[in-house]
Amino acid sequence: MLLVQYINTFSLNCRMKTLFEEIKASIKNNYDPDRSFWRPVLPWGGVFTIKAGRKAVSCTPLYVEINLKNTCTIDGFLMLLYVILHENEHFPKELSLHLGREFVDYFLYLMDSYNFTTVKLLWIWDKMEKQQYKSEVHKASLEIDLFGNEHDNFTKNLESLMSTIQESYCSNSRCPTRMQEDLHRTININPPQEIPHGDLIQRAVDELFCSKIELCEQYGCNGLREFTQRVFCHGAPPFVVLNMQQWKPEELAYVPYHLDLSDHKYLLEGATLFNKEEHHYSAAFQIDGYWIHYDGLRNVNLILLNKPPEFLLLSSLVYIRAAENK
Ligand SMILES: [Zn+2]
C-alpha cells in the first residue's frame, strides 16, 4: 500500500513538463539579473535518425539520417504557432478546420514533448511544396536546406487562413476590365506613400482592406473604379501574419497593440525579426503579458525582455483575434 502511494507520488513528480509549462515556469522563477535563460527550446537545424529495421537492410536505404539546415525561416513561426495554440483555448479546434485536425494534434504533441526535428519535418512534408526547399543526398544523409525567405517557407503555406479577396467595378460600361477580382494569398502591407503621422500600420491595413473609389487604371478608360471591402476567403482567421518586409525602421516607431481588421479586433501577439547581415530570422512573443525574444541559433535561446522589443528589423507582425464582446 505504502509502496503504491510512493510510486504514485514519484510518477507525479517525475511527469515531464510540456515545453509550454517549462517556458512559463522559467518566466515565473527567473531570478537571473540578466533575464536570459537557456531552455530545451526549438533549436536551429536538426538531425533525424532513421531507425533501420530488418526490411531496410534488404532494400538498402539511400540514407539513414535527415539533416536540416537554415531552419530559422520556419523556427520562429513554429514557436509563435505553439504559443498561440496554448494561450487561446478555442484556437486548436478552430485551426484544425484550416490546417487539419491531425496536423494540429500531432504538432502540439511533438512540441509539448520536445520532438523538434520531427515537428520541423511535419511542417516541411505536410505544409510545404517540394519546390520550396532544396534537398539532396550527401553520403548516407538527406540534407534539407530551408535557406530563403520565411514568408515563402511559412506564411504562403497558410493559404486557407490568410487568403483575402477584393472585388472592384468600373463605372464605364465600355471598360474592358469592368469587373475585377484581386486575390491575395498573404497579407502584405505597404507603408503609406505620403509623409504621414499617427498609426501608419493601421492606415496601411485600412488601405488594403477598406472599400474605396479610385480612377480606373485601365488605359484610356476615364471611369471610376469602386472597390468593395476586402474579405477573408474563409472567414476572419484566429491569427494573422502581416508581411512587413517593405517597411523601414523609421516607419516602425509605433507598432499598434490593437488592430481593426475586416470588422474584427486583433491584438498583437508577436513578431518575427530579420537580421540582414547574418541573413537570420528570430522571433518575439508574449506569454502572460511578458515579452520573450527567441533565437534558436544562440546558446541563450530565450531572453525575457524588460519591455516590449523595438521592432526595428521586422519581417512580420502576428496578431490574434480578440474574443468577441457579448
Ligand atoms: Zn475602367
Q: In whole angstroms, what is the distance from residue 248 CA to residue 139 CA?
A: 44
Query: How far apart are the CA of 205 and the centre of ligand 1, in A?
Result: 25
Q: Residue 167 is inside which H or E element, if any? A: strand 164-170
Query: How far apart are the CA of 190 and the centre of ligand 1, in A?
Result: 24
Tens of pLDDT, residues 125-157? 999 999 999 999 888 889 999 999 999 999 999
- 10 shares its domain with 107: yes
Query: How far apart are the CA of 211 and the centre of ligand 1, in A?
Result: 17
Tens of pLDDT, residues 157-197? 998 899 999 999 999 999 999 999 999 999 999 988 776 67
Tens of pLDDT, residues 226-273? 999 999 999 999 999 999 999 988 888 889 999 999 889 999 999 999
Note whether residue 13 is domain-resident.
yes
Q: In whole angstroms, what is the distance from residue 287 CA to residue 152 CA?
A: 27
- 174 shares its domain with 64: no
3-state secondary structure at position 142: strand
Query: How far apart are the CA of 183 and the centre of ligand 1, in A?
Result: 19
Query: How far apart are the CA of 209 and the centre of ligand 1, in A?
Result: 21
- Which of the residue ranges 6-10, 68-72, 139-143, 208-212 would you say has the lowest mean pLDDT? 6-10
Q: Domain tally for the chain?
A: 2
- 75 shares its domain with 217: no
Name the residue range of residue 226's domain.
166-192+205-233
Note whether residue 199 is domain-resident.
no
Tens of pLDDT, residues 269-305? 999 999 988 899 999 999 988 899 999 988 888 888 8
Query: How far apart are the CA of 165 and the centre of ligand 1, in A?
Result: 19
The set of residues, in sequence order, having a beta carbon less than 8 Å from that of 58 and lying 6+ positions away, is: none
pLDDT of 92: 96
CA angle 220, 222, 227 (to 5 degrees): 115
The pLDDT of 90-111, averaged and rounded, is: 96
Residues that place a CB less than 5 A from ion ligand 1 = 170, 172, 175, 216, 218, 221, 223
- 32 shares its domain with 111: yes
Please say if the pLDDT value at position 312 is more than 80. no
302-304/36-37 β-pairing: antiparallel
- 178 shares its domain with 311: no
Query: How far apart are the CA of 167 and the centre of ligand 1, in A?
Result: 13
45: its cell numbers: 537545424
Note whether residue 104 is domain-resident.
yes
Query: How far apart are the CA of 194 and the centre of ligand 1, in A?
Result: 25
pLDDT of 32: 65
- 49 shares its domain with 144: yes
